Homo-oligomer: A and B are copies of this chain.
Amino acid sequence: MTKPTPDPRHTLTLRDVSEASGVSEMTVSRVLRNRGDVSAPTRERVLEAARALGYVPNKIAGALASQRVNLVGVVIPSLSNMVFPEVMTGISETLDGTGLQPVVGVTNYLPDREESVIYEMLSWRPSGMIIAGLEHSTAARTMLARAGIPIVEIMDIDGDPINHAVGISHRRAGRQMAEEIIAAGYRKIAFLGTQMPNDFRAKKRLEGFEEALSRAGLTLVDREYYSGGSALLKGREMTAAVLNRTPDVDFLYYSNDMIGAGGLLYCLAQGIDVPGRVGLAGFNGVELLDGLPRKLATMDACRLEIGRKAARLIADAPPASQVEELFPTLQPGDTIRH
Contact = CB atoms under 8 A, between A and B. Distances in A.
Interface in A88-103: 88-89, 92, 101, 103
**Identical chains in the assembly:** 2
Contacts of A6: 148
A101 B125 contact: no
A194 to B, nearest CB: 15
B56 A147 contact: yes
Interface residues on A, range: 35 or more
A1 B141 CA distance: 15
A272 interface: no
A56 B143 contact: yes
Interface in A154-170: 162-163
Contacts of A151: 4
Contact of A287 (B3, B92, B230): B230
Interface in A102-123: 103-104, 106, 119-120, 122-123
A65 to B, nearest CB: 9
Contacts of A106: 88, 92
A82 B78 CA distance: 12
A182 interface: no
A316 B43 CA distance: 41
A85 B92 contact: no
Interface string A47-82: 000000010111111011000010000000001101
Interface of A: 1-7, 11, 54, 56-61, 63-64, 69, 79-80, 82, 85-86, 88-89, 92, 101, 103-104, 106, 119-120, 122-125, 142-151, 162-163, 230-236, 261-262, 265, 269, 287-288, 290-293, 319-321
19 contacts: A1-B163, A2-B321, A3-B319, A4-B148, A4-B151, A7-B146, A7-B148, A56-B123, A59-B123, A59-B125, A60-B60, A80-B85, A88-B106, A230-B291, A231-B291, A232-B290, A261-B291, A262-B291, A265-B293
| Shortest Cβ-Cβ A-B pairs, 5 listed | A232-B291, A233-B291, A230-B290, A4-B163, A59-B123
